[in-house]
Every structure is written in structure tokens, then in C-alpha cells.
């Protein structure tokens, strides 16, 4: 007889709904008081339930955590109204700077500016304020400039499980993210 775990699955669903942000499986086990095996089976049950056509949501794996989110096919219609409430859209310059950080991280301000060809101060400040990038260390060169990388918020914003899920670049696109004369 296979365990159906209906109440346990409902508990995990309620936790994911209330948390709103991605939650790691170990945290789900701790919050619910359930074993890791029961949490995994409950997530499997939810995944099967949400895969049906009469469900408008799905389980998304983002940055090592799991969350309930609208199915991608519906999100395109809904993101205008329900996307990040307090954030206006990112400008072309902000998206360009963010893509340079995402594909070239860790990267310094000077390296970003060398790739963009213009000052990046305002864009870096904006992306830091929105927590899409963060300081990840200092480069081991004279002056020890700060290096930037993307955040979990970046993964959530773009609905990525990890940075490895970024779209792959072709040869000409890759060249745009490299510094001239440097590796």
C-alpha cells in the first residue's frame, strides 16, 4: 500500500504558500516537523497535482529552494500586474549591466565599464539597491577593487534555479562579454 500523505502534502503546500520566497527542502522539514523523505514525497505529490491542466501554479526551483509560482504560460499575461510591485521595469542600460555581471561574474566596476564603454556607477548602485547584484569579494590586483556577482533575488527575478540556467551565448555574443586584451 502506497502512502498518500494527503495531510502532509497539504501542510507543505501551506508552508510554501505562506513563505512566498524559495524554501530549501531542509527548511521545509524543520518548519513542518516532517522527515526529509516525507517532505520529498509531498513535493512530488504537489508537482503531480500542479502538472494537471486545471492548475494555474507550479513548483519552481529557484536558487536551491522551492516555491509555488504561476505556470510560465500564464505568467506572461500576469507579470505586468503581479510582477515586482515596487519595482519599475529595468532600463536597457540596467539590463545590459546586469547581463554583463551575470555572464562575467565575478567582475569589477572597471571591467563592467570597459565592456560597456560608459560609466557604470548609477547602474551598479541601482542593481545593488534592488538586490539583483552584490559584492562578492575583492580582486587580487593593486587597489583590490570590489567584485560583483548576482544574488538569489536575481535568480528569483528571472525564475532561474541557478546561474547555469542562463541562456547560452553564441560565439559573437560571448565576445561582447570579454575584455579586450584580457582573459
Rounded to whole angstroms, how far apart are CA atoms 25 and 64? 9
Output the CATH code of domain 6-81.
1.10.10.10
Question: Would you say the CATH fold of 92-176 matches that of 6-81?
Answer: yes
| Contacting residues for 93 by C-beta, under 8 A, at least 6 apart | 123
Print pLDDT tens along the chain (183 aa): 456 789 999 999 999 998 877 899 999 999 999 999 999 999 999 999 999 999 999 998 887 889 888 888 887 778 777 765 445 577 788 888 999 999 999 999 999 999 888 888 889 998 998 899 999 999 999 999 999 999 988 988 888 888 888 888 777 776 666 655 444
CATH match of 92-176 with 1.10.10.10: yes
pTM over 0.85: no
* DSSP 3-state of 139: coil
Whether omega before 106 lies within 30 degrees of 0, making that bond cis, reads: yes
Rounded to whole angstroms, how far apart are CA atoms 76 and 177? 28
Domain boundaries, the chain: 6-81, 92-176
* DSSP 3-state of 61: strand
Amino acid at each position: 500500500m502506497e502512502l498518500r500523505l494527503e495531510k502532509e502534502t497539504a501542510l507543505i503546500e501551506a508552508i510554501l504558500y505562506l513563505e512566498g520566497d524559495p524554501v530549501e527542502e531542509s527548511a521545509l522539514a524543520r518548519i513542518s516537523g516532517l522527515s526529509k523523505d516525507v517532505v520529498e514525497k509531498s513535493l512530488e505529490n504537489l508537482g503531480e497535482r500542479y502538472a494537471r491542466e486545471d492548475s494555474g501554479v507550479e513548483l519552481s526551483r529557484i536558487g536551491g529552494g522551492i516555491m509555488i509560482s504561476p505556470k510560465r504560460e500564464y505568467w506572461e499575461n500576469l507579470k505586468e500586474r503581479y510582477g515586482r510591485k515596487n519595482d519599475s521595469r529595468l532600463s536597457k542600460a540596467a539590463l545590459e549591466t546586469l547581463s554583463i555581471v551575470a555572464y562575467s561574474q565575478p567582475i569589477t566596476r572597471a571591467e563592467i565599464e570597459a565592456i560597456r564603454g560608459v560609466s557604470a556607477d548609477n547602474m551598479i548602485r541601482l542593481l545593488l539597491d534592488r538586490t539583483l547584484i552584490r559584492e562578492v569579494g575583492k580582486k587580487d590586483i593593486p587597489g583590490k577593487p570590489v567584485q560583483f556577482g548576482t544574488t538569489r533575488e536575481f535568480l528569483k527575478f528571472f525564475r532561474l534555479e541557478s546561474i547555469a540556467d542562463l541562456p547560452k551565448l553564441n560565439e559573437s555574443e560571448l565576445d561582447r562579454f570579454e575584455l579586450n586584451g584580457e582573459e
